[in-house]
Amino acid sequence: MRLTIPRGFWLVMIPLVLVAMASVLVFLSTRHLPAMYRQWLEVPPEQNAQQGLEFERRLVELSNRIRLDKHWSARLTHEQINGWLASDLPEKFPRVLPSTVKEPRVVIRENEMDLVFRIESSRFKGIVTITGEIFCTDVENQLAFRVGKVRSGVLPIPMSWWASQLEKSLRTKAILLSWSQIDGDPVAMITLPGSFQHGEGTRPTFESIVLSDGYITVSGRSQHEVVAFHSLLPGWSDESSESTQR
């Protein structure tokens, strides 16, 4: 004998099934590896080490230009940055990132970039992607990151979930973080401390940060204090100079 299931039963069960399926899809999406991120994770360790070494070499060159030149610029590729993140960051700066953040990588495109990483905590486990653009503001040595989207798979993540951790991390390094908005998008503005210098008598100022397909270009200028030669002589002072002139 064929059983007839009441219509009201289906009206309850079908929405429950759909909600369950949607929940499973959202759950799985938080563990889905974006294609570009998967490619970065599959790069061989020796290649990461080579790119990381090239990244550090470029930074040394930039450091010398900042110290010696009035105007300077440098171009860094996301291969170099990701190589350094994979090979050098865990070894040289193991405490820079929160313990819950694993395997950070960047994807740089025209005028925007993705910061992708794995979160492993008691509250959440999954892949997080932060998409935005970075630029210099009119304030000296203030860098801004305009956040377009923060998501894990198809699931958006509220700003409050990660903003407080970022503020706490920067505060310990005497870097000021403030927030603003552009067309409704949150903007994190990071101001380097007033004591930010690069060698004795050199004060650099960032002027522009440009994101292109696969690389980032930073440029700026340096103000070099002129040190009088006589001030380097032992026992010499302005008073002794005046007495000599008299």
Pairing of strands 176-182, 142-152: unpaired
Whether 243 maps to a domain, the answer reads: no
Whether 206 maps to a domain, the answer reads: yes
Please give the backbone phi and psi of residue 31, each rounded to the nearest 5 degrees, phi first. Answer: -105, 0
- Position with higher pLDDT, 24 vs 112: 112
Exposure class string for 49-86: b at 16+ Cβ within 10 A, else e: eebbebbeebeeebeebbbeeeebebebbbbbbbbbbb
Whether 242 maps to a domain, the answer reads: no
Q: How many domains are contained in the chain?
A: 1
Non-local (6+) Cβ contacts of 102 within 8 A are 117, 118, 119, 120
Whether 142 maps to a domain, the answer reads: yes
Band of residue 128 on the pLDDT scale cut at 50, 70, 90: confident
Q: Structure tokens of 230? A: 């006589």
List, for residues 19-60, the tens digit of each pLDDT value: 444 444 344 445 567 788 889 999 999 999 999 999 999 999
List, for residues 198-231, the tens digit of each pLDDT value: 666 788 899 999 999 999 999 999 988 765 444 4
Whether 103 maps to a domain, the answer reads: yes
- Position with higher pLDDT, 122 vs 1: 122
Whether 2 maps to a domain, the answer reads: no
Non-local (6+) Cβ contacts of 129 within 8 A are 34, 37, 114, 115, 116, 149, 150, 151, 152
Average pLDDT of the segment spanning 182-199: 75
Whether 170 maps to a domain, the answer reads: yes
Where in the sequence is the domain holding 54, given as residue range(s)? 14-237
- Alpha-carbon distance of 187 to 179, in angstroms, equals 6
Please give the backbone phi and psi of residue 150, each rounded to the nearest 5 degrees, phi first. Answer: -125, 120
With vertex at residue 223, the alpha carbon angle to CA 220 and CA 227, rounded to the nearest 5 degrees, is 155
In Å, how far are 63, 64, 74, 136 from 60, measured between CA atoms? 5, 6, 11, 22
pLDDT of residue 82: 94
Whether 28 maps to a domain, the answer reads: yes
